[in-house]
Structure 1
Amino acid sequence: MNDQITQQEVNATAWAACDTFRGVVDPAQYKDYILVMLFLKYISDRWNDHYAEYKEQYGDDDERIRRKLERERFLLPYVEMKEEDSKTGETKVIDRFVGDFNALYERRNEANIGELINIVLDHIEDANKSKLEGVFRNIDFNSEANLGKAKDRNRRLKTLLEDFNKLDLRPSRVSEDVIGNTYIYLIERFGSDAGKKAGEFYTPKMVSRLLSALAQPKPGDRICDPSCGSGSLLIEAAQMVEAQGSHNYALFGEEVNGATWALARMNMFIHSKDAARIEWCDTLNSPALVEADRLMKFNVVVANPPFSLDKWGSEHADNDRYKRFWRGVPPKSKGDWAFITNMIERALPQEGRVAVVVPHGVLFRGGAEGRIRQKLIEENLLDAVVGLPGNLFPTTSIPVAILVFDRAREKGGARESVKDVLFVDASQEFVPGKNQNTLADEHFSKIVATVAARQNVNKYAYVATLDELSENAFNLNIPRYVDTFEEDEEIDIESVQREIIRLEGELAQVRSRMQKCLNDLGVEVM
């Protein structure tokens, strides 16, 4: 009998657990509690599943079983609860248990359940410092500000534990792919609920997939997202390499928000990307992905950075120790080109490929932004500009674009001879939704195929020479290059005149009948 749990069942149970917080806690906050609990349940069920296997194999030899379990990806330590004897002053152990989800579930009625959850997470973090150090520090299950006063907080946490207890995430029942998909599914649902706050952690799946495809990751690549949010874009890029039959890649990310960084770390572990290096830092002002006091270089750099970020650190750009802003310093109120420049400088010279989501203002704004844009084009780094529909993101309804830069086009690179820029207008390619539009598989495939073919397509794509870009003052506004104008249907004047004469005849007949009716009624009309 097939007793495997389906993706739909896991998704539905996990999402139902969110009812505990809806209407009480902001979605941008309660996502942290849900995803941490999912992670705890995941590592606990793995541990207990393997414990049962070893128990069957070694019987009551608990010491041998424990040694085996210590080789697990995550160690679940013993937790000892102590209290001081009021008479003797001595400290004694009043409770001792393996720090896992099951232990918390058994204690779900305790008056200090929020504190107990925090204690278990602290012990797990301490026992797995190389992987989990700092991951749980930004989440407080005993927070009155977020979860309410003690009585309400305890009730909510008890319900949360009972809901997650319905999830069976043992490896013998559910594959890691299903659990990873559930994590992404929850992030997407939270992104939809969180509105504008979702921009800190969420890029719609199809946009992530498209961005990854345009960046063309391949086996052996080092892949970086310097604004990685919850890490879903890195997961998409990794899966594109795996689809080529290889697991030979390395993932790197930087994230400025501590809580979001923690989600990214857990996302990597749930997707078995344990070796991924995700740093908590400000990528523009204090990047952590450095080696020998120089920026690390990558084969692929992808990102959906904050749109037009204000106060991004322009006052320090002239003295940037990594000299990233030599082409110019973007305006202090719009950090778009700061993020783009940062990405290009992290791409391997003569090889690295960059794909970034940007608002349309990046394509045409003047001043410092225009000068930076011109220099990058003159360096022959810009490869493609892809315009996407509006309302793809929960954070904004504006249309966005993807810029693709390729350092293989610079002198000495394999594509040095390419001297043009492909423009794609996919702004009308979407599936309309009630609150948000989406890209369908056929839209994704059409864009990717068009970029690969690099040919003119009527009303959809145009390959512009560098001379044409220069003539347009390096303005990248897509309608300047892709003509989507639709001529109005030619009007047949003679046919229209005949229709007017016919209608006037009908009108005269109606007026005549109406006048007769009025006369019969004795109504005089002035």
Structure 2
Amino acid sequence: MKEIVTQQHINGVLWRAADTFRGKIDSSTYKDYILTMLFIKYLSDTYKEHVEEYTKRYDGDERRIERALSRERFILEEHSTFEYLYSKRNDPEIGEIINKALEKIENENTGKLRGVFRNIDFNSEAILGRASERNAMLRSLLEDFNNLSLRPSQIGNEDIVGNAYQYMIGQFASDAGKKGGEFYTPAEVSELLARLIKPEENDRIYDPTCGSGSLLIKVAEQVPSRKVAIYGQERNGATHSLALMNMYLHGIDDAKIEWGDTLANPLHLEDGKLMKFQAIVANPPFSLDKWAMGFAGEGTNDKKFKMEAGLDSHRRFEWGVPPASRGDYAFVQHMLYSLAENGRMATILPHGVLFRGASEGKIRKQMIDMNLLDAVIGLPESLFFGTGIPACIMVFKKDRKRNDVLFIDASGEGHYEKSKNQNQLREQDIEKIVEAYEKRETIDKYAYVASLDEIKENDYNLNIPRYVDIFEEEEPVDMAQVKDNITNIKLELQEVESQMKKYLQELGL
């Protein structure tokens, strides 16, 4: 009987593999190599086991074996298997050998894996160092993974590999500090967003800044049948590759994840217009500086360039052009313009979007006047990698029948678990927010339903403390008790001074 490989064992092997790179290159970079190697090992072990099964079933009949293998999810040829790479681990050209294997995997599986590895270079001197150092690291990496079996008959549950991938992305994000927030939204926050937008069967689900894809997967998992269409776009090439691998490891083979700048070059289009989605979630970069540079023509001087609404062929900034140094509302407007009728959208943003003036104030006014804003939820501080600042969630809906906005302040003590490096939302905290959102009632010191008229009276300022009063009155001071305490302290002081005097006399001082 084959030994079952546990989640704990896989996670342990992966974390030890990370030791190969620690102290040599940044974890926000070396994650790409470890997670890619995990994907190759998974493809290779699965394929090898199926080859053995078909060889036995068809008694070595190569034509029948080949026909059966052609129906597999992924096809590998011998020189792109992990075993082949491991056999070449001492070769001075090992980096190039791995690159060629990745290219072969892409070419053999063009329908599914086209472009998945194009931004991962195992032979990069700039990232992995000179040949001798690079070869030593890659040899060590292959040896670590050789100790790990990901054969379907041994891992039992296919989710285990997807879970391991998610575990490692989370660990790397924590390790990478500020850069970690660029490719990963903490699982608990992703879970909260997913429950707030409540995806349904046959929904198109979209994340315009999808990072490694974990948030999209959480949303898809809310639909028991998984009958949803997944769309995403990511600007960072290596992170785009991770997102595609992440999808495949979670059994989502038809996700459409594009690589490019969502603001300057949105790639999910229908008949040249922005595609519409029923559910949109996002954790865009907070207050992105120079967000509009993709709209500048070649040779344009960065300092002289000024973004104008007319430069966008999709007319997303007609409500107002966000400040050059803060792209928050650029992403919000892109999402609102991509929202289908009856669509729901939830996005994480810095609190400044709730009250900043100038063009941001105009955009905010337009969204409220059009009755698109459904709720504003304040989150605890230090939930996200690389930043201690508290964030908020803004929930939007198309075709709203209500004339109010729900405010929830979930930032206070007791609404999260404190941790040294990063605070966490517990299951009970998520449940409380979702329940308050669904019930839509005023709850003392936690939630408040504000009419649109009330918001307009506040000059469209959405700062949560204006609506949810969390001020705790201090107990009145008992002056008689204070007087007694002062008297007692004076008596104790006299006694100490008297005792001190005795000691000094005994010492002859």
The TM-score bracket by the shorter chain reads: over 0.9
Match of 2:408 among 409, 417, 424: 424
Shift of 1:516: 4.8
Do the aligned partners of 2:190 and 2:215 also contact (CA within 8 Å) in 1? yes
Q: Flag the 1:346–1:515 CA change in 2: closer, same or farther, 3 A.
A: same
Partner residue of 1:189 out of 162, 171, 195:
171
**TM-superposition CA deviations, 1:434-459 (whole Å, max 9, x none):** 21111111111111111111111111
CA distance in 1, matches of 2:459, 2:308: 29
Distance 1:450 1:2, change over 3 A: farther
Q: Using the alignment, how far apart are the partners of 1:517 and 1:162 within structure 2? A: 73
After TM superposition, give the deviation of residue 182 of structure 1 in Å. Answer: 0.6
Q: Which has the larger radius of gyration?
A: 1
After the TM superposition, which of the residue ranges 480-489 and 499-508 deviates more from structure 2?
Answer: 499-508
Other-structure match for 2:337: 345
Matches within 5 A, 1:55-66: 55-66=55-66
Aligned to 1:405: 396
Q: TM-score, normalised by structure 1?
A: 0.91
Matched residue, 1:8? 8
Partner residue in 2 for 1:460: 446
- Structure 2 stretches of 5 or more lacking a match? 293-305
1:277-356 equivalences under 5 Å are 277-313=256-292, 315=307, 317-349=309-341, 351-356=342-347
Partner residue, 2:300: none
Give 1:269's aligned residue: 248
Task: Name the CA distance, whole Å, in 2 between partners of 1:198 and 1:248.
Answer: 30
Contact persistence 2:406–2:449 (CA under 8 A)? yes
Paired residues, what number?
493
* Contact 2:86/2:142, CA 8 A, preserved across alignment: yes
Contact map agreement 2:377 2:408 (CA 8 A) in 1? yes
What is the RMSD computed on CA atoms of the aligned residues?
1.5
Matches within 5 A, 1:21-420: 21-77=21-77, 97-174=78-155, 175-242=157-224, 246-313=225-292, 315=307, 317-349=309-341, 351-409=342-400, 416=401, 418-420=402-404
Q: Provide the residue aligned with 1:492 in structure 2.
A: 478
Amino-acid identity (%): 54
Contact 2:28 2:180 in 1 (8 A): yes
Query: 3-state DSSP class of the match of 1:20?
Result: coil
**Structure 1 residue 400: deviation in Å?**
0.3
SS of equivalent residue, structure 1 residue 403: strand
Taking the aligned partners of 2:188 and 2:507, their CA distance within structure 1 comes to: 70
Q: Structure 2: how far apart are the matches of 1:374 and 1:361?
A: 15
Work out the CA distance in 2 between the residues paired with 1:24 and 1:513. Answer: 64
Q: Equivalent residue of 1:358, what SS? A: strand
Instruction: Measure the CA separation in 1 of the matches of 2:388 and 2:212.
Output: 22
Q: State the Cα distance separating 1:181 from its structure 2 match.
A: 0.5
Contact 2:375/2:395, CA 8 A, preserved across alignment? yes
Q: Secondary structure at the match of 2:222?
A: helix
Aligned partners of 1:33 and 1:141 also within 8 Å: yes
Kindly report which structure 2 residues correspond to 1:500-515, keeping only aligned pairs within 5 A, or say none. 500-515=486-501
Q: TM-score, normalised to structure 2's length?
A: 0.94
Contact 2:80-2:101 at 8 Å conserved across structures: yes
Q: Deviations over 1:159-199 (max 9, x none)?
A: 11111111111111112200110111111011011111123
Contact 1:356 1:403 in 2 (8 A): yes
- For the 8 Å contact 2:307–2:321, the answer to whether it is kept is no
Tell me what 1:83 maps to: none
Does structure 2 retain, via aligned residues, the 8 Å contact 1:318–1:329? no
| Distance in 2 separating the partners of 1:519 and 1:160 | 76
The runs of 5 or more residues in structure 1 that have no matched partner are 78-96, 410-415
The alpha-carbon deviation at position 241 of structure 1 amounts to 1.1
